[in-house]
Amino acid sequence: MDSIDLEVLKTCDRWIHQGLRCELVTVIKTWGSSPRPEGATLGICEDGRVVGSVSGGCIEEDLIYRVRKEGITQTVPNVVTYGVTSDEARRFGLPCGGTIQLSIEPLTASSNIDELLLRLSRHELVARHLDLKSGSVALASASAGMSLQLSADKLVTIHGPRWRLLIIGAGQLSRFLAQIAVGMDYQVIVCDPREEYREGWEVPGVEVSHAMPDDLVVELNLDNRSAVVALTHDPKLDDMALMEALKSNAFYVGAIGSRLNNTKRRARLKDFDVADAELDKLHAPIGIYIGSKTPSEIAISILAEMTASKNGVQLPEVIRVGNAKTAAQEAPTEAVCGV
């Protein structure tokens, strides 16, 4: 299963090779509230077909209407702004007076979409330089932390490998976690060498690996767009995977288990020469405290914490599972009905 924006690029590339005119629409700036972030994309074919989104639907409708009425005639990129006035903001479904600025780029074989897709398939992080005056395109390597840039004559968009999630263990919790993560556009890999657990385990769009978890962590060469979650409760599998994951550039590493088991796990990892700074990266007990009891609720708790890490949000320590449960136990109980 491809991410939304990767699907846009692949679909546009297919239209180009079919000899169809099409446009790539990119969100380049937003003010106030807006449904889609900067960098979000939409592809429009000359016959009115679309893929992707740049808003809640109203802007898409206007773009489709224009293409069906006027066709795709422009030969160079155009920058348009929606929601300048309050009436326009309401018309296009932009709440709270939101405004959105879009780049509308007519695509051709020289737009380098096929080369961009090839580089993305190699897990490269790519900067696409679009000349807004001529429509010419150049591709270059990008570095982590780069973001969309706009000047008077150039638009630079960053395209990278999908966010990856490696789940250790093919249990019931892993199934819920994988299903939700796929819906969030993660490339999900579930690793479990135990045949009895992976027997019949299948989630559409999820790769299942039979390798030893620590070997797979090394093989994947985890980068800062990767997360690892250990869910087997088996130290022989979880600990070895965590040892390698904590030494990687993964943006999130978490492990299931109680506070007591987590303390024992940290001691074991130190015995494996995992440094204190590396241990500090471990999210365990995993997740944020939402009173979760069922596998589906625990999966949401884990992905909430993982999403905060992905977005650079520092969560208050008190809402992390271990800290919240400790605080709840230490809180004084009030007498009820004189008891």
- Structure tokens given for 182: 């796929």
Nearest to 98, CA basis, from 56, 68, 64 = 56
Residue-level pLDDT at 121: 84
**Could you report the per-residue pLDDT of 135-168, keeping only the tens digit for each?**
999 999 998 678 899 999 999 999 987 789 999 9
Residue-level pLDDT at 26: 96
Compute the distance between CA of residue 71 and CA of residue 39 in angstroms, rounded to an integer.
Answer: 25
Residue-level pLDDT at 324: 77
Degrees (nearest 5) of the Cα angle 120, 114, 226?
10
What residues of the chain score a pLDDT lower than 70? 1-3, 32-35, 84-98, 144, 325, 327-339
CA 33 → CA 18, 30, 149, 324, 334, distances in Å? 37, 8, 20, 32, 43
**Cβ(270)–Cβ(279) under 8 Å?**
yes
Compute the distance between CA of residue 172 and CA of residue 192 in angstroms, rounded to an integer.
Answer: 13
**Cβ(244)–Cβ(218) under 8 Å?**
yes
Identify the structural domains of the chain with CATH numbers, from first to last: 4-159 (no CATH), 164-325 (3.40.50.720)
Residue-level pLDDT at 319: 87
Exposed, middle or buried, 123 (CB in 10 Å: 0-12/13-18/19+)? middle
Residue-level pLDDT at 197: 85
Compute the distance between CA of residue 189 and CA of residue 223 in angstroms, rounded to an integer.
Answer: 15
To 10 degrees, what angle do helices 4-17 and 113-121 make? Answer: 140
**Cβ(142)–Cβ(127) under 8 Å?**
yes
Backbone angles phi, psi at 316, to 5 degrees: -60, 135
The whole-angstrom distance between residue 53's C-alpha and the CA centroid of its chain comes to 16
Compute the distance between CA of residue 301 and CA of residue 288 in angstroms, rounded to an integer.
Answer: 5
Residue-level pLDDT at 336: 39
Residue-level pLDDT at 337: 37
What is the torsion angle, in degrees rounded to the nearest 10, for the CA atoms of residue 258, residue 260, residue 264 and residue 267?
A: 110
Determine the 3-state secondary structure of 43 from DSSP.
strand
- In one-letter notation, the amino acid at residue 67 is V
Determine the 3-state secondary structure of 229 from DSSP.
strand
Compute the distance between CA of residue 129 and CA of residue 118 in angstroms, rounded to an integer.
Answer: 16
Q: Is the peptide bond before 285 cis (omega within 30 degrees of 0)?
A: yes
Compute the distance between CA of residue 158 and CA of residue 141 in angstroms, rounded to an integer.
Answer: 9
